[in-house]
Each structure stands twice: as C-alpha cells, then as structure tokens.
Amino acid sequence: MTVIKAESAAIVAEVHVQIGEAIPEGAVLLATELMKMRHEIRAPHAGVVRAVHIKPGDEVQGGGALITLEPAVVEVEKATQEEAERPDMAEYAARMALLDDAIRAEAVAKRHAKGFRTARENVEDLFDPGSFTEYGALAVAAQRGTRDLSDLQTRTQGDGIICGIGTVAGRTVAAMAVDYMVLAGTQGYNHHRKMDRLIEVARRDRLPIVLFAEGGGGRPNDGDAALIMAAWLNVTSFRHFAAHTGPKIGIVAGYCFAGNAALFGVCDLRIATKTSWIGMGGPAMIEGGGLGSVAPQEIGPSDTQVETGLIDILTEDEGEAVAAAKRLLALSQDATKPAEEPRPELRNVVPVDRTRAYDMRLAIDGIVDKGSFQELRRGFGAGMITGFARLNGRAIGIVANNPLHLGGAIDANAGDKGARFLQLCDAWGLPVLTLCDTPGFMVGPEVEKTGQVAHVSRLFLAGAHFSQPLVTMILRKAYGLGAMAMAGGGLDRPHFCCAWPTGEVGAMGLEGAVKLGHRDHLAAISDPQKQKAEYQRLVEELYERGKALNAASLLEFDAVIDPAETRDVLHRALASAGTCSPGPRYADAW
C-alpha cells in the first residue's frame, strides 16, 4: 500500500477519486489550495484507491494522510479525441498571424508592383536564417481612444517598425526596419519607444545598427499620446541614435522625409536605391510652411542626393542595398588571404610622360584584393576617391587623389569627402592607405568663394586626430600643403611613407615654382625660343631634385618601392602596425 501524504499545510479544494476506483499513473487524485494557488496531486503509480482520508474543505498539515493507493495494473483506454486546443494558445496564434505579410496581401501586392520589398522581406534578407529575435512585435499605434483595438492590431502592426537582433554572417547586429505599409511609415509614440529600447540594447552590447529608413516622418494623430504631451520635442530616439558609437548603416528605398530622414542622416554610411527621395521636409511640411504644393518625387531624388554627397552608395534596388550593408558589416571580420589572381600591371599604371593623366582606380584595383573595393560617394567630390577594400584579407580604408579631375588638385568637396572618411575609419577601427598624386590644394578667386580654406583644412584636422595606422604611397605628384594633408599632416606622419619611382615632391608645382622663383631671370631673355629652353631646363632641374629617388636619399620619406611589389610592401607595413580598435570619436554627418 502507498499512503500519499500532504507536502505542506493546505486546504483540500477538490477530491477526484473514490474508494475502489482504479486509476492510471499520473491521474489527478485531488487538489489543494495554498495562498490562492491550486496544486494538483497526482498518482505516483497505477492502482486501486483503498482509502480516502480527507474531504473538500478539510485543512491538512504537512505529512497528513490523503489517499491510500494499492498498486495494480490498470488498463488505460487511448483517447479517441485530441485534446481541445488551449484558448490561450489559440489567441496567441491568431494575434501572431496578424504580423505576417500574408495578412496584408493587397498592400504587399502594391509594394511589389512598385518594385519595393516589404520591411519583413528586407529583414529576412539581412539576417542569417533563423537568427532574428524581434522586439515589441505586438505594439500598435497609440490610438486606442479613437479606434477599435482589433482594427489597430490588423492595420498598425508593430506601430510601423520592426525591431530586433540577429546575426549577419555570424556577427550579432541590431536592425530597425520602418514598415511603410503601416500609416506610410510614420513615426508614432510606440514606434519611438521600440526604437529607444533597441538602441539601448545595441549600446549595452556594442552592436552595429542597420536602419531601413523609408517613411514620412512624425505622426500627428496618436491621440493616446496627445493626452500626456504637447509637442513631444523631448523624444529621445534622435539623440540616442546619434550618440550610438557602434556602426550605423542606413538604407532607403522610396520616400524618406522629416524624422526618418534625420535618422538616416546621422548614419555612418548611407545607402539608397535609385528609386529613393530623401528630404528634411515632405510635401505636407512644405505646403504647411506656405511654400507651395509639390509632389514627393520633386524632393531630394537620388540623382540629386548623389551629387550632394548625402548618399554613400547608390544601388539599383533593395536587394543590392542589403548586399552592400552585409559587405560593410563584414569589414570588422578577418578574411582569409585570397588566392593570387591576375591583376593590373602596376609598373605601367603611371605613364612615363609625367604630363599624361591616368586612372587612379586602376592602381587601386591592382593593389587591393580582387573585387574587394567598395567605393563611397563616387558622385561627389570627384577629385578624391574614398572606399573600403581588403589587402591580403585585411580590411582597410582607401583615400586617393583622382588625376582625371583637376589634375588631382584638392577642392572643397574633395577635402570634405576625405576628412569625413578618415573620421569614419577612425570610429570603425580601420587602418587607412592614402594614395597621393596631387599638385596641392585647388586655388583661384572662384575656388575661394566655396570656403576652400575651412573645407580643405578639415583634412589636417582629421589627419592630426586619426588614431589608426596610416600608410601613404606617392604615385606621382606630392606637392605642397595638399600632399601634406594626404599624408595626415606631413610625410613624416604616416606609419610608413613610400613612393613609386615615378614619384616627385616639391613645395609647389614645378612649373609654378620656376615661373615665380625665376621670373626676373626669364624676363631678361629676349629670344622666345631661348626663354622657353631655359624655362624647361629649370623645370627639369627642379624635377631631378624632387624626384622620388633623390628625395628618399634626403630622407623626405621612408622608401622608394618597385610597383610590382606594392601589395607585399603595404601588407608588411600594415601588419607591423598590429591590430586596431575603434576610436572614441564619431564620424561627422558630412
């Protein structure tokens, strides 16, 4: 016989068996109640009830006898019906089904017809399969006072933003994807609360954030929130997102205005599709400001924003944009050394004729791992080439002059572009290779109207504060302050500074130096042919003094290298600098 006893003091709530009843193992014998909670007492084995020592309402003490059970074999009939579905799980399943894109088939069809993806499709493409954990999925718009809850659950899923964390090629990443199918992607009260929660998690765990920023800005009709605030100018999402020091990558397709644009603007890198329109004010704000009625397609189209420098990478569609984001997120990860493949012959990139222009991008392609160069802001600041690449598997930043634009001279836009990129590499902990071929800063009365002095000086500031390894290589011209700025402030500033045999250095361009320094001497020669010959002799004399082999012998910089050995030399220079860690700085929005 088995006497089943009470484990603690309790009140008998229910008795489910009677004497002589055969019961299977695990059957409920009785229920007790303690502190408003019911506890089921089950049979430890199959058997026949021989005694019932209690009745409902009895108070029992710990160790008190409850049921006497005689062991026996009890045949158990198999259930003929499946257990009825639990109501709590049925409610859960119905609620979660509302989050699926399938529930909004008509809206999804409209998105696809315009060539756009849904927010969930972008999230699924970004993250490794099965790795995404969503935060705040059950939120709805703060409009319960004016709309039925069922309507809000059906039409304002997640309050218009999908937030969560997953892995991208194994790296943990946070993402916020604005859902344009919910109230045109506008930012509501709970929308911002979800953003703040995810940004805080990303800050705590030092995670990158990818933002899909399509949407129309703030939402004025969240009536529930209106009861507790007037203008809500103390919303914290903008400040917290701007303050986040982990990499921030923004992606836009379609319309991105007002608050959405402000968040996109503070991203470290901004990716947009050709079918994107980005502006600080959308049509409603423009008309509300008395500035007339305009179509959304008139505001910040992608071709305009490429020229302004707002867009770092322009893509055909969202698929390409997500692929670009994945490449950028992989920069922090080590890559295996690539197999050697045919590449441009570096010895022939720079022409023998020092007056002939050439394509700097051919040099870049010959130096970095094949296919690894991701150029940024190609449509802005054409005189400066910036982008990420890998060298023997190691991620680096590239800053290079463009001899095909102004002969490589650095103007205001080029200065801004290069300086901002140095800031970005510093914040992300990436070493930088600068490729110098510049006659210096651009000069002239018209140039100074652009604020040239302040803009190009940003290169000196960014170089002086750059805390990662810096390597400089002179391909041809390295003249004046422009060349010093390309080397982070001077040819003695880089971790290693070298030149190809085609390199030449000088305080200013050779031709200008001769004209200024020998003006009286040349003017005294009356014969034009003799004057021209003397001028050419003086230029060649300066060139011999400043050409790379002579300048290196005077220790102007560290070495002259064979172009064919460039990859190996630069790899050794960067390897000797060790590993990098992100700096404490942030990258300016410009």
Q: CA–CA separation, 455 vs 423, rounded Å? A: 14
Q: Are residues 224 and 114 in the same domain?
A: yes
Task: Judge if 352 and 434 occupy the same domain.
Answer: yes
**108, amino acid identity:** V
How far is residue 479 CA from its own chain's centroid? 36
Same domain, 365 and 231: no
* Res 515: pLDDT: 65
Structure tokens at 211: 């933002």
Which of 41, 71, 101 is the C-terminal boundary of a domain? Answer: 71
Asked whether residue 254 falls in the same domain as residue 326, the answer is yes
- Measured CA distances, 438 to 23, 141, 248, 435, 556 (Å): 93, 56, 32, 10, 17
Helix axes 452-465, 412-428, angle to 10 degrees: 20
- The reply to whether 316 falls in a domain is yes
Residue 581 lies in a domain: no
**What residue ranges of the chain have pLDDT lower than 70?**
77-84, 226-232, 342, 508-510, 512-517, 579-580, 583-584
pLDDT the model gives residue 546: 81
Q: Is residue 56 part of a domain?
A: yes
Domain ranges, residue 237: 90-331
Residues 140 and 277 placed together within one structural domain of the fold: yes
SS3 content of the chain, % helix, strand, coil (to 5): 35, 25, 40
The pLDDT of residue 57: 93
Residues 240, 277, single domain; the answer is yes
State the Cα angle at 28 between 27 and 34, rounded to 5°: 155
Q: CA-CA distance, 369 to 573, in Å (whole number)?
A: 16
Q: Which two tokens stand for residue 255?
A: 């319309």
For residues 40 and 54, membership in a common domain is answered with: yes
- How many CB atoms sit inside 10 A of residue 40's CB? 13
pLDDT of residue 299: 94
Dihedral, 207, 212, 218, 221 alpha carbons, nearest 10: -110
Q: Give dist(CA 411, CA 384) in Å, integer.
A: 9
Is residue 81 in a domain?
no
Bridge partners, 279 (sequence order): 257
Q: What would the pLDDT profile of 343-355 be if each residue is shown by its tens digit?
A: 778 999 999 998 8
Domain tally, the chain: 3
The residue out of 331, 360, 395 marking a domain boundary is: 331
> Do 327 and 361 have their domain in common?
no
Instruction: Determine the pLDDT at residue 558.
Output: 97
**Do the beta carbons of residue 390 and residue 368 sit within 8 Å?**
yes
CATH number at residue 26: 2.40.50.100
Q: Same domain for 228 and 263?
A: yes
Question: Could you write out the DSSP letters of every residue in 203-245?
Answer: HHHT--EEEE--B--B-TT-HHHHTT-SS-TT--HHHHHHH--
Coil, strand or helix at 332? helix
CA 579, 583, 586, 590 dihedral sign is negative
CA-CA distance, 581 to 467, in Å (whole number)? 9
Asked if residue 452 lies in contact with residue 477, where contact means CB atoms within 8 angstroms, the answer is: no
CATH number, position 454: 3.90.226.10
Model's pTM, two decimal places?
A: 0.86
pLDDT of residue 219: 84
Residue 105 lies in a domain: yes
Backbone angles phi, psi at 10, to 5 degrees: -165, 175
Same domain, yes or no: 473 and 493: yes
Round to whole Å and give the CA distance between 262 and 254: 15
d(CA 535, CA 532): 5
Q: What distances in angstroms separate CA 581 from CA 305, 410, 427, 455, one per listed residue? A: 32, 30, 9, 28
Same domain for 206 and 220? yes
Roughly what angle, to the nearest 10 degrees, separates helices 119-126 and 318-329? 40
For residue 335, give the 3-state DSSP assignment.
Answer: coil
Domain membership flag for residue 323? yes
Identify whether 514 is part of a domain.
no
Write down the pLDDT at residue 82: 47
User: Residue 131: which residues within 8 A CB-CB, separation 6 or more?
Assistant: 166, 167
Domain end: 14, 37, 71, which one? 71
pLDDT at 80: 42
Q: Which is nearest to 437 in space by CA: 421, 414, 464?
A: 414
Cα four-point dihedral sign 349, 352, 355, 356: negative
Burial of 98 by CB count in 10 Å (0-12 exposed, 13-18 middle, 19+ buried)? Answer: middle
- Tell me, yes or no, whether 322 and 342 share the same domain: no
**Residue 532 is assigned to a structural domain of this protein:** no
